[in-house]
Chains A and B, each alone.
Chain A
């Protein structure tokens, strides 16, 4: 007795297509909401506090970019994964001969990409409203994908552990709020609790993003390493929970 399964290239392509298809029904929440809220915060702070220092402006724009990413990958993905679990639609993937690690990568990277229009909008605000001299590096694309996977894996874990969509949404929003505060109002030190900052998927990316977009040179290799490690561990943990039978 033997059966077949797709090769990895076909599997990845089909799984990605299945996730992108979500835009047909839900493009408004995914693209508009993840763009409007953080872009609105940047605009609001620009209008209400015109005397901000360049470093404060920089923090706000970088934080807003990560907020856009976290809305799509943590708040929205956690709810979607919780729905998949509660409706048992997730079983469909579990019984197909596909790599569930690849499914998590497809889910998280696609949800990360849903935030890209917002990232572009916020970057334009940074350039034209706050006059921040930004540099484009192809590494930004790698960075955005990797951050999407790291944050999305956290969103996936929340969705898989939450008993229902409502609680997944609540937990996802709490983590997203933490990303918001730790990103836009960076905490320098929490005393003996400083290590706790690294639990959040936004701490490392914030440092990398500033280096990439605003200072140009690629000088944050330790944070890159941290981000890769974070994304890998989060991916392993979320894959474990997705595979776990009841």
Chain B
């Protein structure tokens, strides 16, 4: 059942389009990732959804009902975690989470119970009496996440939820987002962390230059990128030759000392490897892997980078 609908949505600041002609329908029960480079228009799209940014053209509908910025019913349905700090800096960690639950209509008893639960789950219990403004960036982010999920709404919009978190906490937050999955809920999240987001996403929307360039499952993103292989080569002699060959392929290359990693089309990568292995001493070791969603994304980004668009965009 389609519940959330962006219809020809655009936002222009002066002569610059932040996003353009975004038309997407999202069904209940799905977790949708908005991916794309900086300035692609992802945050603008979330701000249009929650009514913080008025679209230049187009409409947002929820359950067929037109979203009008500032309307109480919209705020009751959508909870939003922005990238920037919330206005909770003067409160203690415990007060901040409980206040958010209370303002979202929970009873004092429920708000208190859910707050204690989240404090434990997110390792915030030792910080419960600390002022939010005195927390580190990562701790502050966790309080923001807790404030949003303490009273989950039918639509949850999260902008970079794992920013500034350590690896352990990032995993916990992704698990947390997974646990928010519900047949009556849509989770829409912006992330740069394609590798980690892959574990929870049902659908990936990739934005570039303010437009949606890909819309589909994580698997379909891999298909779009082509039949890829991820190869790691330990270089023996003549690394310039390897890099020269790879440059002619237009592959995404990462170099760490003597290790060269690249992702390329399977046929081309295998042909290249066969050529290199025929030259004794050129290559000392090879590892071949199936590409991750991130590899597919990076490959597609490189393809799109060459595309020309009629107007400049920015988020």
Contact = CB atoms under 8 A, between A and B. Distances in A.
A190 interface: no
A10 interface: yes
Interface in A74-101: 84, 87-98, 100
Given A3-B73, A95-B52, A88 B84 contact: yes
Interface residues on B, range: 35 or more
Contacts of A97: 72, 75-76, 103-105
Contacts of A89: 84-87, 89
B54 interface: yes
B102 interface: yes
Given A4-B105, A17-B95, A245-B52, A93 B87 contact: yes
Contacts of A90: 87
Contacts of A222: none
Contact of A11 (B75, B79, B103, B153): B103
B131 A245 contact: no
B297 interface: no
Interface stretch (B62-70, B222-230, B286-294): B62-70
A21 B78 CA distance: 26
B103 A14 contact: yes
Nearest to B148: A95
Given A22-B90, A245-B53, A14 B69 contact: no
Most chain B CB within a 10 A radius of its CB, from A2, A21, A94, A95: A95
Nearest to A93: B87
A1 interface: yes
B53 A5 contact: no
B103 A6 contact: yes
B24 interface: no
Interface in A6-35: 6, 10-11, 14-15, 17-18, 21-22, 24-25
A153 to B, nearest CB: 19
Given A95-B79, A97-B72, A98-B103, A84 B87 contact: yes
A25 B54 CA distance: 35
B133 interface: yes
Interface string B43-79: 0000100111110000000110000011011011111
Nearest to A1: B154
A24 B87 contact: no
A3 B184 CA distance: 12
A246 interface: yes
B75 to A, nearest CB: 4
B73 A21 contact: no
Contacts of A25: 89-90, 131, 133
B17 interface: no
B105 A5 contact: yes
A14 B87 contact: no
A4 B78 CA distance: 10
Contact of A94 (B52, B85, B100, B153): B52
A243 interface: yes
A1 B2 CA distance: 12
B88 interface: yes
Contact of B88 (A11, A92, A98): A92
A197 to B, nearest CB: 35
17 contacts: A1-B155, A1-B184, A3-B75, A3-B154, A6-B102, A10-B108, A11-B103, A17-B99, A21-B90, A89-B86, A92-B87, A94-B52, A95-B75, A245-B52, A246-B47, A246-B52, A246-B54
